Structure 1
Amino acid sequence: MSQCLQEQYAPDSVCYGCGPANPQGLHVRSFADGELVVADWTPASHHEAFPGMVNGGIIGSILDCHCNWAAAWHLMGRHGLSQPPCTVTATYTIDMKRPTPSAGPLRLVARVVEANDDRCVVEGTLEAGCRITATCRGVFVAVKPGHPAYHRW
């Protein structure tokens, strides 16, 4: 299996949503696919709000982390960097379109829709069985030295 962005660029990250080094985390594994960043993620029963349906907070966490990596990847390419800049969430909004079933893998898709030198607006979707169950729109910012997250990966 190939390395995801998190494993390649932040193997020691303990982020709850996407950190490879967090044994209790959600382990979102994001992959660049042209202009998109994609991931497949399979929930467990302890991620449910009620039997058979994923908790909304979990949905927010996986979309937040995945969209953040889309921003980091985009800024890395924009500036010709060998490592992505460390980015953090400035704002994000999750819209629940329908209940998200917990049976089977979920598909995350994110793309940058606006960018400048240090921030990106990213839109993302969560799909279950080829149906969009939630959407995300957020602003993700590359942090500078002195920010607590600056050296997190």
Structure 2
Amino acid sequence: MKNPCLQERYAPHNACFGCGPANEKGLRIRSFAQGERVVADWQPEPYHEAFPGVLNGGIIGSLLDCHMNWTAAWHLMQSQDLEKPPCTVTMEYAVKLRRPTPSDGPLHLEAWVTDTDERGIVSVEAELAAGGEVCDRATGKFVAVKPGHPAYHRW
């Protein structure tokens, strides 16, 4: 596979709706580490719309949530010198829909870590842009799960 994204490289069997390569009906975002940021480009389809020409808010939330989650996992992997990213889950996230997000062209996601606390909780910020204009912003907190959690080893 040429230039695999984080999801394809580390979680090829993941069935998550937003980021799982194994979910045929999912969004299948493809996140790539670029220095201190994680980026992704994604193309909406008409069935992702809230109304003609505008992306559904729930889809926007899923894109930002999954992309920030992978940003946190990548950060923990790099900062702890791990061979693969730990399985992380969302503790909380918030999305600000700043303007209608068009669905007629590619969208660009960018996320970056703003903090990691003593408990290993990773804070992330992200933006979703269309045509070079930021449409949506998000913040979130993510944590690696331990044995016994339903998401442990899901990747």
- How does the TM-score come out when normalised to structure 1? 0.98
Gaps of 5+ in 2: none
Distance in 2, Cα, partners of 1:101 & 1:114: 31
Q: Verify: 1:120 aligned to 2:135, yes or no.
A: no
Over aligned residue pairs, what C-alpha RMSD do you find?
0.7
Q: Counterpart in 2 of 1:144?
A: 146
Could you list the runs of 4 or more consecutive aligned residues of structure 1 that deviate by over 6 angstroms after TM superposition? none
Q: Distance in 2 between matches of 1:46 and 1:143?
A: 33
CA distance in 2, matches of 1:64, 1:82: 24
Q: Which amino acid aligns with 1:150?
A: Y
Residues in 2 aligned to 1:55 and 1:63: alpha-carbon distance in whole angstroms: 13
Aligned length: 153
* Residue 25 (structure 1) aligned with residue 46 (structure 2): no
Structure 1 stretches of 5 or more lacking a match? none
Could you say which residue in structure 2 is the equivalent of 1:106? Answer: 107
Deviation at 1:119, TM superposition (A): 1.8
Identity over aligned pairs, percent: 60
After TM superposition, give the deviation of residue 118 of structure 1 in Å. 2.2
TM-score by length of 2: 0.97
- 2:13 alignment partner in structure 1: 12
Aligned to 2:62, what secondary structure does the other structure show?
helix
- Classify the secondary structure of the residue corresponding to 1:64: helix
CA–CA distance in 1 between the matches of 2:23 and 2:70?
17
Q: Please give the secondary structure, in 2, of the residue aligned with 1:61.
A: helix
The answer to whether the aligner puts 1:56 opposite 2:57 as a matched pair is yes
User: What are the Cα deviations for residues 17-55 of structure 1, in whole angstroms up to 9, with x where unaligned?
Assistant: 000000000000000000000000000000000000000
Counterpart of 1:146 in structure 2: which amino acid? G
| 2:137 aligned partner | 135
